[in-house]
Amino acid sequence: MGDLYAANSPKGISLIQDNKLITVNEDLQVLDMVESPQHDLWFSGRNGIIRIALNDLKRSVTDHEAPLNYVLFDRTDGLNSIQCSVGAPNITIAPDGKLWVATVNGLAMIDLTQLPRTSRKPEVFVVPSLL
């Protein structure tokens, strides 16, 4: 049996487990979500469109110290508006692999079949000064 995640608008992402709502992340202001065939979770949000690999989300449940690895799509990626519209559903994946999201300035589309896959962000280590 799989895990059931919920977009706990506007308080972030939660996991429903043993009839309890467990907070996974409160920092991301998400509105709605959909899972891609590649098992990425896509969220419409107040600050853009967010992609989180399911494995990274699962890891954040067990390792509370590790930061959640996600990708934010915003104006720098070509969105006319970073504010996704309120109401559900406002995000979907069409059979042709295109992700459609309703924003306050109209529809946004990301072609998931053309989106490059990147690996996890590099870990950052802080080395104390020897001076």
Where b means 16+ CB within 10 Å and e means fewer, 63-83 reads eeeeebbbbebeeeeebeebe
Domain membership of residue 117 (yes or no) is no
Domain assignment of residue 18, yes or no: yes
Percent of the chain with pLDDT over 70: 84
**Distance in angstroms (rounded) separating the CA atoms of residues 108 and 120:** 25
Would 68 be classed as within a structural domain?
A: yes
- 131 belongs to a structural domain: no
How confident is the model at residue 8, as a pLDDT?
A: 66
Summarised one tens digit per residue, pLDDT across range 63-89 is 777 778 888 888 888 888 877 777 677
Q: Dihedral, CA atoms, 30, 71, 102, 112, nearest 10 degrees?
A: -140
Count: domains in the chain: 1
pTM above 0.95, yes or no: no
Per-residue pLDDT, 118: 61
Residues 100 and 107 sit within 8 Å (Cβ to Cβ) = yes
The alpha helices in 18-87, defined as continuous H runs, are 54-62
Domain that residue 48 falls in: 4-111
> Is the residue at 120 inside a domain?
no
Residue 48 belongs to a domain: yes
Judge whether 8 lies within some domain.
yes
The span from the CA of 42 to the CA of 40, in Å, is 6
Asked if 86 and 10 count as a contact pair (C-beta separation under 8 A), the reply is: no
Coil, helix or strand for 61? helix
60 assigned to some structural domain: yes
pLDDT tens sequence across 87-107: 677 889 999 999 999 888 888
